[in-house]
Amino acid sequence: MPRPATKDLTERELEVMHVFWARQELTAQEARDLLAETGRDLTYPTVANLVRTLEDKGFLKQVNDERPFRYVAARSHEDVSGRLLTDLVTRVFGGSREALFVRLLDGRKLTAKERELLESLLKEPGQ
């Protein structure tokens, strides 16, 4: 029995979304070519099916009525990454951001740039 359709992104769908976030408006063929340039040489039918699935899930939207169809991201990287990260914290760390931070930094020394960024994020507004 096939698995039920999910609103979540698969790994391949997320790869395709990254191409659209980086380049905005594309055809499925253009997306396939850009993926191939980065070492993900998927067939055109595979990418076209992924694009259609992403449109069905509401992550991409078609912007023209003639072939070849062009698509743009319907949801921003910030929106999608924020939802995925919130889901990760909930499922893996029981909702504890503290546990995430501890695991993320466990046994790893921060670079000066990372430390500066973290300190700027931790400063309360108006201080």
**Dmax (CA) of the chain:** 58
pTM score, whole prediction: 0.81
Residue 37 pLDDT greater than 90, yes or no: yes
- Fold for domain 1-127? Arc Repressor Mutant, subunit A (1.10.10)
Exposure class string for 32-51: b at 16+ Cβ within 10 A, else e: bebbeeeeeebeeeebbebb
Q: How far apart are CA 97 and CA 42, in angstroms?
A: 36
Lowest mean pLDDT across 14-18, 58-62, 67-71, 106-110: 106-110
Structural domain boundaries in the chain: 1-127
Residue of 2 and 36 predicted with greater confidence: 36
